[in-house]
Amino acid sequence: MASNIQIANKTENAADLNHSKETIDLNHPELYLNRELSLLAFHRRVSAQVTDQTIPLLERLRFLCIASTNLDEFFELRVAGLKQKVVAGSVQVEADNLSSQETLHRISIAAHDFVEEQYRLLNEEILPALEQKGICFLKREMWTKAQSKWVRDYFDNELLPILSPIGLDLAHPFPRILNKSLNFIISLKGKDAFGRDSGMAVVQAPRSLPRFIQFPDELSEHHYELTFLSSIIHAYVEDLFPGMKVTGCYQFRVTRNSDLFVDEEEIDDLLRALEGELPGRRYGDTVRLEVPDNCPDKMIHFLLKHFKLTQEDLYQVNGPVNLNRLLALPDMVDCPDLKFPSFTPGISRHLGRNLFATIRDDDILLHHPFQSFTTVIDFVRQAATDPHVLAIKQTLYRTGPDSVLVDALVEAARANKEVTVVVELRARFDEEANIRLANRLQEAGAHVVYGVVGYKTHAKMIMVVRREDKKLQRYVHLGTGNYHDRTARLYTDYGLLTCRKDIGEDVHKIFMQLTTLGRGTKLKKMLQAPFSLHTGLIERIEREAEVARKGKPAHIMVKVNALTELKIIHALYKASMAGVKIDLIVRGICCLKPGIPGISENIHVRSIVGRFLEHTRCFYFLNEGQSEVFCASADWMTRNLLKRVEECYPIEEPALKNRVIEQGLKLYLQDNTQAWVLDKEGHYTRLIPKDDEPTISAQQTLLEQLAEKA
């Protein structure tokens, strides 16, 4: 198993750095890792899970597919954005001082190596291991006579009626190719019925059909015998061109720019503007071409020329070009021993039937997926049916297509409660779903707003206003993750249920900012982006630095998904130089370099990659023994801290604060099985327990402590 992953980032001569604390230039590019290459390194850490023999086989396949899907999005957004900058002639550089052109070149080198490794893992590890377990992908030459007859019938009845082969000539130009769709470029010999001889055609695979098909049990020697849709099309492609000879048939797939552009200064209706832009996403500028490694150069050059791509944009693969479609296999196969053991999320024992009464007694801290998201759903459902509840307000960023929370909000609106929902229409890749739920909520009578123009609303908040003893009481839920009941079983997140007066007032003020016009007012307890969160974090980092300069203990622990914001990194470097102990758990992008003598030697960075996607954002500041603990919806990135509406809330109840410190931070710092440690050169090395030390997996420990048994 490869245990070392490097961020391919060109560095200057280390001697150029002046390590004098008085004269150190914290803007020196040697101090920073490239944002895009750091993200690519995270995707490789996900892919590296495939080699972990302690992970069940179908879960290893799932990691391979997730890494492939991540890579698709990386090209659709990050690579596409860099290409746009190059075309626009942008000379802007990031903190690492790499130009967009140089970054693209290094991405190409790293991504080609990544893709080659992915297909090696598929062909040399996953497929042979699946075959040993009776799950076999059969190539055309492996089909029995009975299977060939069955495939013939499948082609005639399921494929042939919906395939539309297109010969390329003046009357039939190259068809528009959908983003990430499976296609075939065909070379032909002979003339058709009209005497045409174009020599080339394109066949587009139906998106409605699965990318691999299972043979009937009675035709299979093994429990699961499957074949790829591409193999079926290859086998009978000549039937699409009667009287002509097919001399070549090769898969290809293009990835396109999938970012949406909406000029928010020119539009008067964000929903309608996005509805107009969504269809174009499928046909954005091309950024990548994938073909099989046996595709002839002539075909490759033809495709590159047509899609206006270069050799750096070409990826020749040894297997299906749409690797991520294998993600359907684990759900198809009924082999529990090849998957992670099932579990039932824990439900807090002290929760009674009346959640409002329970919250009045004490704050509730939920740690998903180890503890059930059902508590949050019940909170909204009870609010929807409780005759004493007058109003419900909620932010929605991602909810999923069939959200039970949206059902409850619709029910509340129909019951004539005041329901206000802030729907973020620009949640990337969820725009269409969010437009539908916004329309549904409006039809039910809810007040729907789309946040603030120019700032995505990424905060996760629910506020319920209830009449109690002739006065109004606010109950709130604040979360680090989305209100999505499916991802709540896949992502680690925190959620706080409280009726503390000052927190309720702060949440009320934030909702007022989102739904009305007017200047924001100062919050009592919470920090909010884009106003007080950035400065509040820097102030707390600087406070720890000042404590350390006095010779007192100072400690910062942070868990986020990404760390890129330059002023935050500057503050962390200065705190490290002052002697503050800094432990950073950064799942994905990290532009800070730890362990540089005299600068960041007191900073330690690790990334946790495991069964669940680490998504909690929590921050700890020792504060001379009066520790502060916060949870937040925001990562430490420029976009989160300065360009989005985010919430950051304190955990003040002593027992709950201790839970976040011990379970959410210290336990992850002790993990020695799923942790990757970053060094000053930009290398990530996976920790492996020594023979004499116990193995510690934070996620497994939390499953044992908080979840129910399977």
pLDDT tens profile 223-234: 999 999 999 999
Cα gap 231→140, rounded to integer Å: 6
Amino acid at site 286: T
Residues 6+ apart with CB under 8 A from 59: 330, 338, 339, 340, 611
Question: Is cis: bond before 320, omega within 30 of 0?
Answer: no
Please say if the pLDDT value at position 283 is more than 50.
yes
* CATH no. for 355-524: 3.30.870.10
* Span 77-89, average pLDDT: 90
Same fold, 355-524 and 528-706: yes
Local confidence band at 263 (pLDDT 50, 70, 90 cut-offs)? very low
Domain assignments of the chain as residue spans, ordered by start: 21-270+284-338, 355-524, 528-706
Active site residues: 458
CATH superfamily of 21-270+284-338: Polyphosphate kinase middle domain (3.30.1840.10)
* Span 497-513, average pLDDT: 96
| Contact indicator for 466, 472 with CB cutoff of 8 Å | yes
Q: Which of 324, 267, 251, 242 shows the shortest CA–CA distance to 76?
A: 324
3-state SS, residue 468: strand
658-706, pLDDT tens digit by residue?
999 999 999 999 999 999 999 999 999 999 998 889 999 999 999 999 9
Question: Is cis: bond before 369, omega within 30 of 0?
Answer: yes
Q: Which of 314, 483, 458 shows the shortest CA–CA distance to 399?
A: 483
131-161, pLDDT tens digit by residue?
999 999 999 999 999 999 999 999 999 999 9
* CATH no. for 528-706: 3.30.870.10
What's the full length of the chain, in residues?
710
Cα gap 208→145, rounded to integer Å: 27
Q: How many CB atoms lie within 10 A of CB 550?
A: 10
β-pairing, 183-189 vs 212-214, is unpaired
- pTM metric for this prediction: 0.92
Instruction: Please indicate whether residue 268 or residue 82 has the higher confidence score (pLDDT).
Output: 82
Amino acid at site 693: E
Please say if the pLDDT value at position 6 is more than 80.
no
pLDDT > 70 in the chain, percent:
89
393-427, pLDDT tens digit by residue?
999 888 877 889 999 999 999 999 999 999 887 65
Between helices 100-121 and 80-87, what is the axis angle to 10°?
Answer: 150
Compute, in degrees rounded to 10, the torsion defined by CA atoms 193, 198, 204, 205. Answer: 70
Please say if the pLDDT value at position 216 is more than 90.
yes
